[in-house]
Amino acid sequence: MRHGVARFVTGFLALPVALYLFYVVWPFVQAAGYSLTDWGGYSDRQQFVGLDNYVRLFSDELIRKAFWHNVFFLVTLPLFTIALALFLAFLLNVGGREDRAGIRGVLGSGLYKIIFFFPQVLSLVVVAVMWQQIYRADGQGLINGVLMKVGLVDPDNPIAFTNDPEPFLGVPAVLWWLLLIAVWSGAGFYMVLFSAAMQSIPKDVFEAAILDGAGRFHTFFRITLPLLRDTVSVAWIYLGFIALDMYALVFVMTPSQGGPNHASEIFASVLNFTAFQKGQFGYACAMGVALAIFALLLAAAQLKITRRERIEY
């Protein structure tokens, strides 16, 4: 009987696994192989150079700058997105008034969920193009236009937004404006994710805490957040992968896809420029492999740090 089931499962999965290996795993293996060569991408000529491309990464000043920009997103994007999503989810689930039915969310919470989730139905490129018009550095931009109308911005000196390379808190201002877009577009999804996790927590737990005199602040930090630890950990990993990418926003929103003056350069934009503008595909593959290894190590460390016994309730 078991032999028949195993044969059926094997036959059922053979084609999907073969397609996955060919279209997903094999390109990764090819990239790792090309990273050990000086392949130019447009010819069959390639010479084996060993680990020279990886050694070159450590001495490349542009790579170092792009790496620290990614680290900025790696720290700030999960932090701000998860904090905002948790706040919204808490309000929409247990932030309303108490009544005979128990603890409720704020009035109209169902409508708010739809509104906050709406950016998720849009492509990231569409979101970037929309914000490109909001951030326009002239009177036609939404923000600059409004501020000019009320006299808060000089028409001859509008806010540069994504054209501003000047540092703010030690980081190029353009990165902060890109961070705002990323948080705005992603918070709704994680709000829904955290809302689903909160709804699985029995309302009796919240009501018992309130009867014991706990306020909403203590309820959130002593009950809700600890019980959502696993969900928050998964969200942090997903957002970490997004922070290590950010290519679509940088490509659409910034001048020269990484400007001005490399102020918004990230690993993915340097990789794209190196491969398709310089024609150094071997070196670009080394960048991609290094980024993939870093992302996997980061995810493994995150899972290791946040691992704990499952809480039953």
What residues does each domain of the chain span? 61-274
Q: What is the mean pLDDT of residues 173-177?
A: 91
Q: Which CATH architecture has domain 61-274?
A: Orthogonal Bundle (1.10)
User: What letter does residue 279 receive in the DSSP assignment?
Assistant: -
How much is the CA Rg of the chain, to the nearest whole Å? 24
Of 26-30, 119-123, 182-186, 306-310, the least confident: 306-310
pTM of the model: 0.85
Q: At residue 310, does pLDDT exceed 70?
A: no
Of 95-104, 169-178, 186-195, 277-286, the least confident: 95-104
Q: At residue 213, does pLDDT exceed 90?
A: no
267, 244 Cβ separation under 8 angstroms:
yes
pLDDT, tens digit (0-9, with 9 covering 90-100), for 89-111: 888 876 655 554 455 666 767 78
**Nearest one of 61, 68, 111 to 88, comparing CA atoms:** 111
Distance CA 180, CA 2 (A): 54
Q: What is the mean pLDDT of residues 305-313?
A: 65
The dihedral region occupied by 161, where left means phi > 0, alpha psi between -120 and 50, and beta the remainder, is: left
Q: What is the DSSP string of 192-255?
A: HHHHHHHHTS-HHHHHHHHHTT--HHHHIIIIIHHHTHHHHHHHHHHHHHHHTT-HHHHHHHSG
Average pLDDT, the chain: 84
pLDDT, tens digit (0-9, with 9 covering 90-100), for 43-89: 778 888 889 999 999 888 999 999 999 999 999 999 999 999 998 88
**Nearest one of 103, 77, 12, 54 to 290, comparing CA atoms:** 54
How much of the chain, in percent, has pLDDT values that exceed 90?
20
